[in-house]
Structure formats: C-alpha cells, structure tokens
C-alpha cells in the first residue's frame, strides 16, 4: 500500500483562448497566479514532493514562482496529458500515491483531494468527476450496467450517444505510483488529436482488474478550469464570495459582499465595517471598530481600534493608530505611521511620515519624509519640500506646532516645539521654539493699474 504522497501539477498548456502573451497559469485570481492556488492546496496535503510540469512560457512561470516549494519538470513537446505526467515520473517514487492536478483548476478543496488520495492508497484508481448541465468540451465518464466506471472518452472521440452523458472527467485523479508508471508506458496515441491521453489509464485499469473509484465533486465551481477571460472572471467572483462568507461568519460587516475584493489576507477584530467597492491586497489587519468607507484601497496596512477610513482613500504599507480619521480622498504611502487620534483629511498625501498623537493635516497638503510631534496643526496647502532633485531630506516638526496655510518647509529643516509658522511662508532655516516665524514679501497696492483686456476681433 502506498505510504507517501507525491503531487504532479500539469501546467504546460499554452492557453490560446486567453488571447494573452502571459502564460495561462500566471493569470491572477484573487491577486495571485492560478498556479499558486494549486500549489498552496497541494502543500496543505503535506506531500513528499510537488512536481510542476511546465512548457509554454516556462521560464516566465518559474521566474514568477521562484520561491515555490516545487520540483520543476519541463515538457519540451506537448504530446498530451499522459505524456506530461510521464515527464515527471522519473522523480516520483513508485511506492507513493500520486495525485494529478492542473495548474488552471484553482479552487478544488484540499478535503476533496484528501478523500481521493485515501481511496488511491487502497490500490485503486480514484477519479474526481462532476455532473454538468452542459458537458460540452469535457471527457465523458462511461459506466457499465452495474454502474462501474469502464472508461473515459474525450468529446472529439465520443459517439453521439456518449456525448449525452453529463458526468464528466475533471482530469484530477489519484493512483498508486507503481500502477501509474506501468499504465503510462502502455498508452497509445491512436485518437483524433494524436495525443497520449492520461484518461486512457481508466480502460487499462479495468482491463487489469484494478478498482476504479469515481467521486462526484460537491460543487461545480470547485473543479472548473480557466480557459478564457470569461471563466477567469467567473472564478474570481466565486473566490471573492467564498472569502466574504468566511469573513462575515467571523463577524465582518460587509455592505455588499458582491462588491468586495480581497487579494491577500484580512485579519479583523470585532464590529469592523467595510463599505462597497473596497479592495484589499497583501496583509491587512483591522482592529475592533474600524470602519472603511466606499471605494478605498488598502495594501499591507495595520489599522488600530476605532479608526475611520473615509471614502476614496488609498493606504499602502502603513500603520495607523487608534481613533484616527483618514480621508476622504487621502493617500497614505509606504513608511507612514500615524499615532492615535491623528487626522488626515481630504486631498492630503503622506509618505514615510511619522505623525504624532492628536496631530491634524486636514486639507490639500503633502507631507513626506517627516517626523511630526503631537498636537500639530498643518494648514491647507502645506508642502514639505523633501527632494532636491538628487536626494531626499527630512523635516522635523516638534510638538504643538501651528503651520499656516500655503507654507513650504524646505528640508532639511526643523520646526521646534510650540512654534508658529505664518501663512504663505517658505521656511528654509530652523524655526525657534515658541516664536512666530514667517517669510513674506511686503504687500503693496498700485493705484491706477488697469487689468488687460482682450483685443476686439477684426471683422471678416
């Protein structure tokens, strides 16, 4: 009886119906390549090895998944699924159970595959099937009068009667390695496609008296593959709905689960609310009572308890403290850290900025490469001029500073505690603590000045 598990993932297809230069298995589902989903599921089964058979665009596939814990196997010529599996067999132990998966079938539950492998470990051929209302394009499962599986026939080779069968082959199977190796050596390519079909091992198993166990998938979406952009879009919504349902069971309030996209992981506290059109990527952590408004984008962010992110805001690689207010229309760029009770308002951009507790930047400002103390008030239109054309420089703002509107702080520069900067100033040197600092040209009025007027258009 086979003791270990080895997984073979077939990922050599060209994917011509995708109409893309990108290899099919690298198209994204939920923010990561199709093949990554399959590898992750396989890894959950704790196999001895995972073998990925690649072909079309192979170097791009390997480069995109360079850190994947797999053994790469090249299929130089695409001569069918049987030929593809055969390329991996020199690295597969004959005493193992072999599970065959497909790099473009991303949503098969690990529990379903585990059941399949349990049957194969009893010296059987275990197949995963599914009943489809419209089975066009799929290989049909043929059974005898006793209901036993006798063969799989591909649609191109099927008779009119056989094409009426609705139970189809998913291609996913598990089988003892020693049996698989023998059957692969007996495959023939005398069919319409002149290919070596892996499915032909079913007839060989029957001929050899080996039991064939077919399992019907519980859900059609579990076993759907991706052949074109329509199918990719369908599975995207399936995945997003499933993720949303898991999160809602954990307590997340979603205004509309059909308008929520998670392309990574989301950790939530209690009483978290997310409005429509929100996209989250990477790892996002939302503490108790966080509210995220409509059409926000969050990537690799951590948000503290009671914070509100108002609509149309973008937050990336940032840490936000408790009871903060962000947006609407705010952009928080990488490296930014907000202390509790900070306010970042509309059309404010922060980059690599540390903002102290209770500080406010409410309107139309850019604050980059800045260390800011607590209870600072930044007026509308303030800019930290942190880049000299070659290097970035830092601005330091102390506690309880008030910066008037339309001010430029030219880094490197320090504004000390309790300083006040007059509106419309350009600050290039230290602003002393507790003093008013400003730079303005004298205001003057010119009597008798006439505003220019347009010249009248000439006739004709």
* 94 included as an active-site residue: no
As a whole number of angstroms, the distance between CA 350 and CA 366 comes to 6
Burial of 197 (0-12, 13-18, 19+ CB in 10 A): buried
Peptide bond into 199 cis (omega under 30): no
CA distances from 1 to 12, 178, 182, 212 (A): 31, 10, 16, 16
66 contact partners, CB below 8 Å, separation of at least 6:
none
**Which tokens go with 407?**
């001010």
Q: Is 50 helix (H, G, I), strand (E, B) or coil?
A: strand
Active-site option among 71, 94, 234, 363: 363
Which two three-digit tokens encode residue 321?
Answer: 């403290």
CB 107 within 8 A of CB 220: no
The helix (run of H) or strand (run of E) holding residue 279 is strand 278-286
Contact 295, 313 (CB under 8 A): no
E strand or H helix at 217:
none
Helix, coil or strand: residue 220: helix
CA–CA separation, 132 and 265 (whole Å): 32
CA distance 165 to 62: 38
The residues, any chain, with a CB within 8 Å of residue 321's CB and separated by 6 or more, are 304, 307, 337, 338, 339, 340, 341, 342, 357
Q: DSSP labels for 329-352? A: S-EE-TT-EE-TT-EEEET-EEEE
CA angle 358, 414, 442 (to 5 degrees): 100
Place of tokens 């050599």: 12
- Evaluate whether 372 touches 389 at the Cβ level (below 8 Å): no
DSSP 3-state of 247: helix
Q: d(Cα 221, Cα 229) in Å, to the nearest integer?
A: 16
Closest CA to 109 of 95, 126, 122, 128: 128
Are 285 and 269 in contact by the 8 Å Cβ rule? The answer is: no
Strands 97-102 and 32-33: unpaired
Enzyme catalytic residues: 363
């Amino acid at each position: 009886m086979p003791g270990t598990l080895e997984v073979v993932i077939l990922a050599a297809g060209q994917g011509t119906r995708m109409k893309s230069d990108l290899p099919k298995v690298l198209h994204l589902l939920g923010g990561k390549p199709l093949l990554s989903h399959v590898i992750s599921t396989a890894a959950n089964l704790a196999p001895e090895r995972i073998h990925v058979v690649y072909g079309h665009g192979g170097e791009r596939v390997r480069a995109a998944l360079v850190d994947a814990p797999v053994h790469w196997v090249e299929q130089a010529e695409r001569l069918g699924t049987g030929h593809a599996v055969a390329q991996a067999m020199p690295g597969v132990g004959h005493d193992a159970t072999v599970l065959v998966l497909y790099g473009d079938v991303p949503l098969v539950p690990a529990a379903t595959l585990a059941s399949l492998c349990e049957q194969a470990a009893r010296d059987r051929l275990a197949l995963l099937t599914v009943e489809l209302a419209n089975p066009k394009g799929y290989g049909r499962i043929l059974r005898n009068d006793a209901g036993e599986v006798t063969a799989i026939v591909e649609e191109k080779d099927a008779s009119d009667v056989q094409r009426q069968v609705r139970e189809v082959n998913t291609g996913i199977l598990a089988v003892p390695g020693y049996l698989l190796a023998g059957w692969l050596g007996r495959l023939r390519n005398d069919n319409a496609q002149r290919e070596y079909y892996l499915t032909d091992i079913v007839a060989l198993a029957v001929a050899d008296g080996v039991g064939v166990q077919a399992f019907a998938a519980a859900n059609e979406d579990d076993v759907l593959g991706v052949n074109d952009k329509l199918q990719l879009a369908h599975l995207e919504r399936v995945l997003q709905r499933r993720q949303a349902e898991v999160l809602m069971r954990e307590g997340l309030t979603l205004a509309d689960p059909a308008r929520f996209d998670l392309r990574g992981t989301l950790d939530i506290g209690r009483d978290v609310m997310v409005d429509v059109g929100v996209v989250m990527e990477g790892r996002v952590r939302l503490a108790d009572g966080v509210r995220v408004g409509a059409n926000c984008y969050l990537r690799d962010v951590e948000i503290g308890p009671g914070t509100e992110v108002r609509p149309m805001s973008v937050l990336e690689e940032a840490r936000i403290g408790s009871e903060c207010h962000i947006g609407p229309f705010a952009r928080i760029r990488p490296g930014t850290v907000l202390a509790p009770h900070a306010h970042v308002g509309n059309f404010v951009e922060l980059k690599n900025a540390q903002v102290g507790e209770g500080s406010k930047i409410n309107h139309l400002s850019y604050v980059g490469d800045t260390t800011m103390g607590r209870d600072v008030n930044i007026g509308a239109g303030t800019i930290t001029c942190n880049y000299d054309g070659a290097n970035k420089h830092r601005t330091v703002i102390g506690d309880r500073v008030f910066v008037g509107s339309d001010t430029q702080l030219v880094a490197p520069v320090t504004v000390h505690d309790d300083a006040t900067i007059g509106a419309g100033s350009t600050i290039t040197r230290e602003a002393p603590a507790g003093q008013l600092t400003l730079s303005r040209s004298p205001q003057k009025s010119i009597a008798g000045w006439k505003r220019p007027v347009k010249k009248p258009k000439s006739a004709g």
